Amino acid sequence: MKRLDPSQPIRVAIADDHALFRAGVKTALSVRKDIEMVAEADNGMQLLNLLKHITPDVILLDIQMPIMDGIATLPEIRRLYPDIKVVMLSMHNDHSMISKMMEIGANSYLTKNSDSETIYQAIKTCAEQEFFFNDLTNKALLSGLRTKKPEHGIEDIQLSEKEIRILKLMCEEKTTKEIADIVDISPRTVEAIRDKLKSKTGAKSMAGLVMYAVKNGILAEEGN
């Protein structure tokens, strides 16, 4: 769900038990006129209490915190406040953890050594387009395909061979023109198939299509 008024600043909350890190992020984002920091907490329980009184558009959520960590907090945010976007923060770039966080509802995942521009782009992209994919999330999600079995077979919604092939190429970040050249169809046909894929899978964006492909193991078939 998109924000009700895109002309207003994106309201951001941060939950992290390191006060210095919180202060650094707040300082870095304070120069952005389209960002407004509205809340900060040092653990998940404190964050959930704050959310009863204030509703951010995006939460920066640390994975490792005392009392209630990000892993326990994320499902609660998803259950109580499904429209809030959540960017997970961690010192580690463990692929299995990234995949797990994305699967249980994270909209992006950043390491804590990300620069302020990356954090800003993640907040802005999640607020406007739901997901922010970067090299870290892409590699984690794609590497997970090697071992992950599909949740439900793709026969469930019956994608044609051509639709599956085009979906795979989209997940490889090929442009519409590149896909058209590879499959030997017109760019307009590629766009029509992309729209049909969104309709069939219920995805609302390209990011949604990528998540569908990841969850259903579609990319794993040819070892991409």
Dump pLDDT digits (tens) for 114-130. 888 999 999 998 998 78
Residue 136 has pLDDT above 70, yes or no: no
pLDDT for the residue numbered 150: 46
207 confidence band (pLDDT: 50, 70, 90): low
Task: Give the model's pLDDT for residue 181.
Answer: 92
Are 85 and 132 in contact by the 8 Å Cβ rule? The answer is no
Most confident of 45-59, 82-96, 152-166: 45-59
pLDDT of amino acid 60: 96
Distance between CA atoms of 46 and 34, rounded to whole angstroms? 26
Enumerate the β-bridge partners of residue 62: 89
Of residues 97 and 155, more confidently modeled:
97
The region, left, alpha or beta by phi > 0 then psi within -120 to 50, assigned to residue 117 is: alpha
Q: Kindly report the average pLDDT of the chain as a whole number.
A: 82
Amino acid 205: pLDDT = 66
Domains of the chain: 10-143 (3.40.50.2300), 150-222 (1.10.10.10)
CA distance 207 to 131: 6
Name which residue leads in pLDDT, 149 or 47: 47
CA distances from 107 to 83, 122, 136, 223 (A): 11, 9, 13, 26
Helices and strands, number each (H, E), in the chain: 10, 5
- What average pLDDT does this structure show over 60-65? 93
Q: Which range among 136-140, 164-168, 185-189 shows the weakest confidence by mean pLDDT?
A: 136-140
Specify the pTM: 0.66
pLDDT on residue 41:
95
pLDDT at 153 over 60: no
Choice between 176 and 95, residue whose per-residue pLDDT is larger: 176
In the DSSP assignment, the letter for residue 9 is: P
For 16-62, the pLDDT digits (tens) are 999 999 999 999 999 999 999 999 999 999 999 999 999 999 999 99
Q: Does position 155 have pLDDT exceeding 70, yes or no?
A: no
Cα 8 to Cα 5, 37, 58, 148: the distances in Å are 6, 13, 13, 41
Report the side by side order of strands in the sheet with 35-41.
35-41, 10-15, 58-62, 85-90, 108-111
